[in-house]
Amino acid sequence: MKSREIEKKFIQFFVSRKHLLIPQISLVPENDPTLLFTSAGMVALKSYFLGLEKPPHNRLVNVQRCLRTTDINKVGQNARTLSFFEMLGSWSIGDYFKEGAIKLAWQFLTTHLNFSPENLWVSYFAGDSDYPQVPADKESAKIWQEIGLDSDHIVGLGYQDNFWQSGEIGPCGPSTEVYFDRGESFGCKEKTCRPGCDCDRFLEIWNAGVFMQYNRTSQDQYQPLPFNSVDTGAGLERLAMVLQKKNSVFETDLFIPLTNQINKLASIGSGQEADKQQLINRIADHIRASVFLIADGVVPSNQEQGYILRRLIRRAVDAADRIGLSDLSQLVSVVVVNYQSAYSYLAGQEDKIKQILLTEEGGFRKAIRRGKKKIILMSEEKKTQGKPLSGQEVFYFTQTFGLPPELVKKEFSKQAIVLNKNIDQELLQAQKEHQQKSRSDQKFKGGLADNSDRVVAYHTATHLLHQALRTTLGDHVHQTGSNITSHRLRFDFIHPKALTKEEISKIEKIINEQIKANLPVTYREKTIEEAKKDGALAFFEDRYRQGKIRVYKIGDFSVEVCGGPHLKRTGLMGKFIISKEKSIGSGKRRIYGILEEDQ
């Protein structure tokens, strides 16, 4: 069964069951700073699950292009891991719940895709002692039994496997997932092998239901949502792999034209590189992802989405060098042609995509040459000193020249330099220390034009605005983005409707009262757990994973996690005026504000 046929069957099945087909969104979600990329189909639907906005229909379906960055290093090493993928998704928003979702999944898999029930297993959330506030989902296990699935094929797993959320806060809930048993020959041979095992035997083919029951708050509370909903997702590549009877996603019709072309252009034979197929698979995934990212407006850089794109391209270049492939832009047209039926817009951007790849590849190869010269010089010093290569030194080359760690270690080994036995642990520690040092300041200064006095004043004003909005409109309000120049601030936040003139007037009054009071602006460094315990607003928790962060306090009015910079006192900023307020879609609003210098 061809991939587009699988997609068509999926859409038709759910549309015939009263689901509305909705369009895809970009790989870069708008006005959602909690996510770098659209990682699931439900990303654009958060406000519906929260009850902040009415959906166009209470049953929805679509196919969404997605990108996930957590497992980039694993791509090519197994049969299933990808960075870019297409997700088939269906949703019930306040309509059917667990029983309806499970029955639909079973019907589609067994009667429309003709899966044998003997080959299907499922997992459900069995509770987790580390998350006692979330009860086990015993109902799903019971429903699977009632529809006829063998009880031995129903497996209870913990929070990490069967509890799902998009971002650190927001709608979430237990999930039930469907696995295809590929057979013992693909497994680890352990008697305990079953869904949840990291071997290749049990392949997850469908998250048949994330049961959206809770809203996870910034204080780690799981509050009931106003109504129950269902979010499902099936990776098209994995379904194609099983239905086309392939051993890897890279052997499906979604990849074969690309992997064949890579193999054709490679200048080394199959016996010259032991892991050649893994390298080909890595290139195929990374180039496909890069094509779609560039088409959605991302360009290589050292920050945010651009950094991920640069990383993908450089990993592809590194793999290409090892198989004798010198020009990755030759692969763009293969991706465009293979996806033109589903993504016709790619064709119009082909030339731009090729040029960006050529430029980035050329720049990286120059960096590699500079880095190798530095490696030779450092190797001579090490030979004289008799010192091994450390993880910190590997990190220096990754940061200064952008070289992949494995390339650095390989080049030093060529120079007969011994690698420290703890080199990988040292590298990991160096990376963590760098992240701790730069994460908070970089993330929050990213929304500022510069650090001039006026920009700092406007940045401080966003804290007052944030709290004033919550005081006036309610605690559901939280920041989703901001942009600050020396002339105005722009502040994006969650709220389901337009502000009234009275509300705007009240917000301005609250802010200007705090300015007039000339409140002190102070900060203390704390862990994120300490900050939340003290009641600090912290809506971008995934950005402060390690170490200490700054908690800014403005008098007794506002407490918020932020990287700065800020004024010393509120009286230095001038009178605050809301110049404009408007909708930016999906239950989100935007405020523009200005500061008059003479109050």
Residue 197 lies in a domain: yes
The enclosing domain of 65 has a CATH number of: 3.30.930.10
Half-sphere exposure of 8 (CA within 13 A, CB side): 7
Same domain, 422 and 473: no
- Which residues span the domain enclosing 57? 3-244
Last residue of a domain, one of 372, 400, 417: 372
Q: What is the pTM for the complete model shown?
A: 0.70
268 and 127, same structural domain? Answer: no
Residue 572 in domain: yes
- Judge if 23 and 45 occupy the same domain: yes
Residues 142 and 272 in one domain: no
Residue 359 resides in a domain? yes
Burial of 353 (0-12, 13-18, 19+ CB in 10 A): buried
Are 232 and 87 members of one domain? Answer: yes
108 and 211 in a single domain? The answer is yes
Q: Answer whether residue 511 is part of any domain.
A: yes
Side chain identity at residue 186, one-letter code: F
Question: Side chain identity at 139, as an amino acid letter?
Answer: E
Residues 480 and 332 in one domain: no
Closest to 186 measured CA to CA, from 168, 202, 170 = 202
Check whether residue 77 and residue 211 sit in a common domain. yes
Same domain, 260 and 339: yes
Would you call 62 helix, strand, or coil by DSSP?
strand
Does 479 lie in the same domain as 333? Answer: no
Number of domains into which the chain is organized: 4
Point out the domain boundary residue: 224, 244, 264: 244
Q: Is residue 542 over pLDDT 70?
A: no
Q: Are residues 21 and 100 in the same domain?
A: yes
Specify whether 212 is located in the same domain as 301.
no
pLDDT of residue 583: 86
In a domain, 381, yes or no: no
pLDDT digits (tens, 9 = 90+) for 87-110: 999 999 999 999 999 999 999 999
Is residue 250 situated within a structural domain? no
Confidence of residue 167 (pLDDT cuts 50, 70, 90): low
Res 241 pLDDT > 50: yes
* 379 inside domain: no
Residue that terminates a domain, selected from 217, 244, 271? 244
Residue 382, in any domain of the structure: no
545, pLDDT greater than 60: no
Contact partners, residue 395, CB within 8 Å, separation at least 6 = 427, 430, 431, 434
Q: Is the CB of residue 60 less than 8 Å from the CB of residue 230?
A: no
Most confidently modeled range among 289-293, 294-298, 480-484, 583-587: 289-293
- 195: which DSSP letter? B
User: Could you read off the pLDDT of 463-510 as tens digits, one per residue?
Assistant: 999 999 999 999 888 887 888 887 889 998 888 899 999 999 999 999
Percentage of the residues of the chain whose pLDDT score is greater than 70? 92
Please give the residue that has the higher pLDDT: either 29 or 443: 29
C-alpha count within 13 angstroms, C-beta hemisphere, residue 573? 36
